[in-house]
Structure 1
């Protein structure tokens, strides 16, 4: 029986977030540990009345302090390019040894002022806060991984074993080589290096899964719906192969029309509630 899109959409969930989704302190602490020694060395400059000359002495003795400087302005990259009074400067914090250029960086970013005027009391604590803030930018990626974990749990509940009859993050070419199947219709004759989140092999079929969860709207959702619609249509003519899309999240509200277009032509599109109703076991039996 054909499903009703509005009823299906009404069963979407608003969140799959765990506590780690918001802030993963294990990653925060891991990143801080990499530069904790250098940050503690830099602590000796807090409250300095002669910050530039003290920085000279400190850098000459401990040049490795340079590697912790980008994080102090909330940047993870180790190489920065800056336009300064029309001059294009490049800072490589892995091996920079130009002390005058470094002091220019510290001065113009405001780090000298921050440290010398005692606006912070401990750079390890300060950097930990910066890491927490930067980590919030990774929530979108963590949300994607959470949805992958959700799907993986249901695949295993259905009785499949990782690296035996189900595989994570598998490219089209690897599927072709492993099971001697022609998927050139999906790769534009080998020109597209498509990777699926999961691939499940049963006695009768190879099931390639994509999964995602959108808690907020964005232009990517329309593009995703269109591309998966095309992928589903191209898959229909490949014997022994099926494309399955598991998606959810109220972010689809703003791209509902595009999602409905895909829903109308795609047989294997499901949400979390359907997985909870053992739909996956029904599909893969």
Structure 2
């Protein structure tokens, strides 16, 4: 009988698997900090806030090109803000200015001594990139507010990464709770080097870059935990289940207990590979089982 069945005192494997799959979190695990990393947004703006306020004087100016040139000439540091105004992360760029002869023009936005030619070149960049008309036509009222919006938009690209860590953050609360209750140590993003340094235990990894979401140490015994959440289906779920079947066998061969914590409505259309893992491994958990002290039960 499956070890988890015995520990949870469930009659058979079919009932346990049904319990796991019927309690997946259909509504997801979105937390408030998923939407925008405001700390990062404000941190990105702070170093150029003065430059943005200097550039504010350009808003609504008629002879915008001359005004831009004069501003760059007097306050060359304003060029640091140019990439932020166009949602560009680099401090330099090469523009193809002749697409038939492949002639390029290089632009550098780092603060430095500016020649008249440099000022002309960067004024041209400002105008050609559309920033000139943006300012002249008063399409923005304040560049600090405008760049805040730009940064929020750019930060939305980080939601995929934040979504990937949501499950880890939630699972860590249960791991921390269980280890505190039982007087055990754990580490997040564990690897062979950290395990050797902290617990003086040697493990053989299948690849040098291998990091475990969590490792728990109990009297010389290791427990490895991997966790993920799938709100939608797809081929990734099948490959993950197959990978974890192999991972379970690999760690078990080193007398390491492997625990897979997974959840999400995506599994409901891909139950076969999940069942294959369940039948070949000892511990498949979801968030509901964690909530009901399933991890503590295993570690005891």
* TM-score normalised by the chain length of structure 1: 0.84
CA positional deviation for 1:251: 3.8
The number of residues matched between the two structures is 279
What does 1:136-155 correspond to in 2, within 5 Å? Answer: 136-155=156-175
CA contact (8 A) 1:172 1:193 kept: no
Question: Per-residue CA shift, 1:37-65, capped at 9, x if unaligned?
Answer: 11111111111222222111211222222
Relative to 1, partners in 2 of residues 1:36 and 1:274: Cα closer, same or farther, differing over 3 Å? same
Relative to 1, partners in 2 of residues 1:65 and 1:202: Cα closer, same or farther, differing over 3 Å? same
Tell me which structure has the larger Cα radius of gyration.
2
CA positional deviation for 1:174: 2.4
Number of the residue aligned with 2:13 = 2
Q: CA RMSD in A?
A: 2.8
Number of the residue aligned with 2:289 = 274
User: Is 1:43 paired with 2:56?
Assistant: yes
CA distance, structure 2, for counterparts of residue 124 and residue 277 of structure 1: 48
Q: Which runs of 5 or more residues in structure 1 are unaligned? A: none
Q: Which runs of 5 or more residues in structure 2 are unaligned? A: 1-11
Number of the residue aligned with 1:17 = 30
CA distance, structure 1, for counterparts of residue 237 and residue 270 of structure 2: 6
Relative to 1, partners in 2 of residues 1:41 and 1:225: Cα closer, same or farther, differing over 3 Å? farther
CA contact (8 A) 1:196 1:208 kept: yes
Number of the residue aligned with 1:208 = 224
CA contact (8 A) 1:155 1:280 kept: yes
CA positional deviation for 1:202: 0.9
CA positional deviation for 1:204: 5.0
* TM-score normalised by the chain length of structure 2: 0.81
Relative to 1, partners in 2 of residues 1:79 and 1:246: Cα closer, same or farther, differing over 3 Å? farther
* Higher mean displacement: 255-264 or 129-138: 255-264
Number of the residue aligned with 1:194 = 210
CA positional deviation for 1:8: 2.1
Relative to 1, partners in 2 of residues 1:133 and 1:203: Cα closer, same or farther, differing over 3 Å? same
What does 1:82-231 correspond to in 2, within 5 Å? Answer: 82-86=95-99, 87-95=103-111, 98-160=118-180, 165-184=185-204, 186-188=205-207, 192-217=208-233, 220-231=236-247
Relative to 1, partners in 2 of residues 1:256 and 1:73: Cα closer, same or farther, differing over 3 Å? farther
Bigger relative contact order, structure 1 or 2 (CA pairs below 8 A, ≥6 apart): 2
Aligned to 1:187, the other structure's residue is in SS state coil
CA positional deviation for 1:222: 4.5
Number of the residue aligned with 1:55 = 68
CA distance, structure 2, for counterparts of residue 215 and residue 128 of structure 1: 30
